[in-house]
Amino acid sequence: MARRTKTPLYPIKHWSHSSLVSFLRNQLAWYKRYVENVRDTPSTPAGIIGRSGHVALQHFYSGLSKEAGIALGLEYLRNVPDFEVQFGKAKTKSAQKKKRASMERDYLRAVSYYLARPPRHKVLGVEVMATASVEGLPIPLKAISDLVVVSRIDPKAVDIIDHKFVDSFSKSGARKPLFVIQAMFNYYTVQTLYGKPVKRFIVYECKKTRNADGSSQLKKYVLNFDECEEEFEVFHRLIKDASLEITRERLYLPNPSDMFEGENSFEVYKMGLAE
């Protein structure tokens, strides 16, 4: 008689910042990507430019020259196939070619802005991936930190650096909800990996278009974890509630208003692929 295997309580092995935000924004898109592991939704040009910028900075902070980092980021961008790009209204080959050229210009401009006067750090790790099991949370957390550096406010502690390439600066400051959620994931994973106090989550936003007034293209946001008691409490409650939510039987419904994946999730629902 064959042994019956026990169905896992949770359909995912861990939460990440991207999977949690995806679940909160569009649960059918989340189910498709993180439960069924189907990742065929094209990326936006802004997302590809951002990833290319991260490649450039990854190599720069690993010890390569600015020029080498920029070249490797550009190579990454050019190697993204057309079917992985969400071209929007650019339907013809010529229109898509122009869009690709525009993406390259935006990438080169943005990464050049950043590397004109790059922030300097005592770097301990670049593109640091780690998983952490946190007391009180039902599912492990997983995150990738752009940089882990020696903290300037405590040499025995570390700070986490995150880079974002944006069209406009964030108005909510360091306590922007998306920053806070990401910071919590990085806090626990870096603390587990390095075994040191984690003091701050620092976000550098690099604006892709030149400021007309000549002001800096970089904006720095600092979240001090010693001042985040309420944020930690809310984060724990959110992880627990989201984890409980994914254990119950449910129909996953699309969110057509989702500007990133609404159309795709509606098509999945229409064809009954998640039933």
Q: Residue 99 falls within a domain, yes or no?
A: yes
Residue 185 lies in a domain: yes
pLDDT at 182 over 60: yes
pLDDT score recorded for residue 157: 98
pLDDT confidence tier of residue 42, bands split at 50, 70 and 90: confident
Asked if residue 152 is part of any domain, the answer here is yes
Mean pLDDT of the chain: 89
Angstrom distance (rounded) from CA 206 to CA 60: 16
Tell me the DSSP string of the chain. -PPPPPPPSSSSS-EEHHHHHHHHH-HHHHIIIIIS----PPBPHHHHHHHHHHHHHHHHHTT--HHHHHHHHHHHHHTS-GGGB--TT--SHHHHHHHHHHHHHHHHHHHHHHHHS-----EEEEEEEEEE--TT-SS-EEEEEEEEEE-SS-TTSEEEEEEEEESS--SSGGG-HHHHHHHHHHHHHHHHHH-S-EEEEEEEEEESS--TT---SEEEEEEEGGG-HHHHHHHHHHHHHHHHHTTS-------TT-TTTHHHHHHHHHTTTT-
- Is residue 268 in some structural domain? no
Residue 11 placed within a domain: no
Residues 128 and 237 in one domain: yes
Distance in angstroms between the alpha carbons of the first and the last residue of the chain: 30
Last residue of some domain: 116, 139, 155?
116
The reply to whether 238 falls in a domain is yes
Question: Residues 238, 144: one domain?
Answer: yes
Q: What is the pLDDT of residues 140-180, one digit of tens each?
A: 999 999 999 999 999 999 999 999 999 999 987 878 888 99
Residues 157 and 235 both lie in one domain: yes
Domain match, 174 and 146 both: yes
Q: Indicate the number of domains in the chain.
A: 2
Query: Looking at the domain assignment, is residue 2 inside a domain?
Result: no
Of 116, 133, 164, the domain-final residue: 116
Last residue within a domain, chosen from 84, 116, 148: 116
Model pLDDT for residues 255-269, shown as the tens digit of each residue: 666 545 545 554 544
Same domain, 234 and 162: yes
Instruction: Give 220-243 pLDDT, tens digit per residue.
Output: 999 999 999 999 999 999 999 999
**Dihedral (CA of 70, 73, 75, 81) sign:** negative
54, 159: one domain = no
Residue 130 has pLDDT above 70, yes or no: yes
Domain span at residue 94 reads: 45-116
- Considering only residues 212 and 131, tell me which one the structure prediction assigns the higher pLDDT: 131
Which CATH number fits the domain that encloses residue 140? Answer: 3.90.320.10
132, 167, 162: which is closest to 148 by C-alpha?
A: 162
Q: Band of the pLDDT at 196, cuts 50, 70, 90? A: very high
- Residue 176 domain flag: yes
